Structure formats: structure tokens, C-alpha cells
Amino acid sequence: MRRWNKKFVQKRTFAPVAIGLLSLFAAQTASAAVVAELDFTSTSGALDVTADGNISGATAGLAGITGIDGVTGVLSAVDAGGVTGNDPKLLFSGTTIYQAALPSGFTSWDSMEVRFRQLDGDPGAPGVASQPYDLSGTILIYRVNGVQTNTAGLAVGSTSGLVSLANDPAGDNWLVYTVDFSGFGPTDLVGIQRLDPIGNDLNGNFEVDYVRLNGVSAVPEPTSLAMLSVAGLGFVVRRRRR
């Protein structure tokens, strides 16, 4: 009877500890999180973003507005063809995403994401809709430690250097530029320099939903947690055998 009680106590003691350690392992795995962001969902202004055509610095009617779906807050040039002249583009300077430093609580960089789509006309004009991606002139320039890298004419589904372009699963011609910053550590400065959402298409326009810089949060590696869990379970087993 005493031996049965001992085993019963061991099981009752061992199970909660094991569950606790495994729960710790599950909760502490590393994951990417947003470090800095320009999100135009609740924005009425351009957040230090400038748009220009031939004359650098001309704001060209850039504004945070509600997109053509009537729901999504976006950044658009409002009248890209009539105001900006040749080659409408967004220049990023003085923002939190132009050349960002990794804050405390993060161990390394992960990526940059830019969600945008092209329109077949200006916002507010009758019948304007999103259009299939036209890569003509479309460009992304990103920055690492003050050095800019130019990626031009990238086709959907392709990769150039650290940059890839893909259709967003949400559909409606949304696209996502992704820059792989996973090779850069806590002392590196990363960001976005320039985006041409419609390239040289003066009859079209664009909607930019957000620009995000993501980092890896400072939590123990899964391998380390697994070793910790095994060590803890072994300790409990030895204790019970004694």
C-alpha cells in the first residue's frame, strides 16, 4: 500500500512539473515582431514622407486617405499624373523607418515589408480600380548602414538580392515587397530610401498600406529551451527515484 502511494505521489508530482516545463518551451520560442512602422490606417498626413516628380521635394498632393475599398487607410498621391509630373515616387527621410536602430529587447533584424498596390487612375475618379502589377519602372531602394541598394523592375514571384516581391494572399492586386534583413545584427541601421509604386505610369496611381521593419525578439533559442526542459525533467526523475 505504501509503495502504491509512493508511485501515486510521483505521478502527481511529475506531471505538473513536466507540463510546466513544456509550456515554458512553447511560450518562449523566438519570433519576429514589428520594430518600426508607417501605417496609414489612422493617418491624416504623410508622416514625413515626401513625393516628387522632376522637382525633388514637391509634396504633390501626397496624403493619407481611405483607399478605393472604402475601408483601408492608405497613402496616395491623390492626383499622381496631374501634379507630380514625370516618375512619381516616394522618398523616405526623417522617419522612423528611414534608417532605424534596433531597440533593446531585440537580438537581430528580421525583415522589411512594404504593402502596396497599383491603381488604373487617380483615387476618387469614377470607376478607378486596382490593376494587375506593371513592373515598368517600379523600384525599391533600401538602406543598410547608410548605403542604399537599388532594386528595379522586379517581377512578381521573383527575388533580387535581399528583395522579393509577391502577391498578397488577401488578393485585390495587393503586393508585398519583402527585404530579408535577417543577416544584420543589433548595431546595424536599416530602412527604406525610396519607393516607386507605379513607376513611370502617369495615368495610374497607387495605394501604400504600410511599411514595416521587423526584428527578432530577445528570447532564449528553442534549442536552449529544449535542453533546459530535458534537464529539468531529468532532475525531477532523479529526485523521485531517491
For residue 88, tell me if it sits in a domain: yes
The whole-number pLDDT of residue 138 equals 87
Q: Are 235 and 13 in contact (CB under 8 A)?
A: no
Whole-angstrom CA distances from 199 to 158, 234, 240 are 18, 61, 69
Structural domain span for residue 161? 32-217
Number of folded domains that form the chain: 1
The whole-number pLDDT of residue 8 equals 45
Going by C-beta distance under 8 Å and a sequence separation of 6 or more, which residues neighbour residue 58?
50, 51, 52, 84
Q: Are 138 and 154 in contact (CB under 8 A)?
A: yes
Under DSSP, is residue 229 helix (H, G, I), strand (E, B) or coil? helix
Q: Are 112 and 192 in contact (CB under 8 A)?
A: yes
Burial 24-51 (b: 16+ CB within 10 A, else e): ebeeeebebeebbebbbeeeeebbebbb
Amino acid at 132: P
The pTM for the full model equals 0.75
For residue 93, tell me if it sits in a domain: yes
The whole-number pLDDT of residue 79 equals 65
Domain of 105, CATH number, reads: 2.60.120
For residue 17, tell me if it sits in a domain: no
Task: In whole angstroms, give the CA distance from residue 218 to residue 132.
Answer: 39
The whole-number pLDDT of residue 31 equals 87
The whole-number pLDDT of residue 239 equals 53
The whole-number pLDDT of residue 171 equals 94
- Ordered per-residue pLDDT tens for the chain, 242 residues: 545 454 444 444 444 444 444 444 444 456 889 999 988 875 445 566 766 543 334 445 677 788 999 888 888 876 655 554 556 778 888 788 999 999 999 999 999 999 999 999 888 788 999 999 998 888 999 999 999 999 998 999 999 999 999 999 999 999 999 999 999 999 999 999 999 888 777 778 889 999 999 999 876 555 444 444 444 545 444 555 55
Under DSSP, is residue 3 helix (H, G, I), strand (E, B) or coil? helix
pLDDT single digits (tens) 32-83: 899 999 888 754 455 667 665 433 344 456 777 889 998 888 888 766 555 5
- What is the full DSSP assignment across 34-49? EEEEEEGGG-SS-TTE
For residue 181, tell me if it sits in a domain: yes
For residue 64, tell me if it sits in a domain: yes
For residue 195, tell me if it sits in a domain: yes
The whole-number pLDDT of residue 89 equals 79
For residue 94, tell me if it sits in a domain: yes
The whole-number pLDDT of residue 76 equals 83
The whole-number pLDDT of residue 168 equals 97
Instruction: Give the relative orientation of helices 2-27 and 222-241 as an angle to the nearest 10 degrees.
Output: 170
For residue 19, tell me if it sits in a domain: no
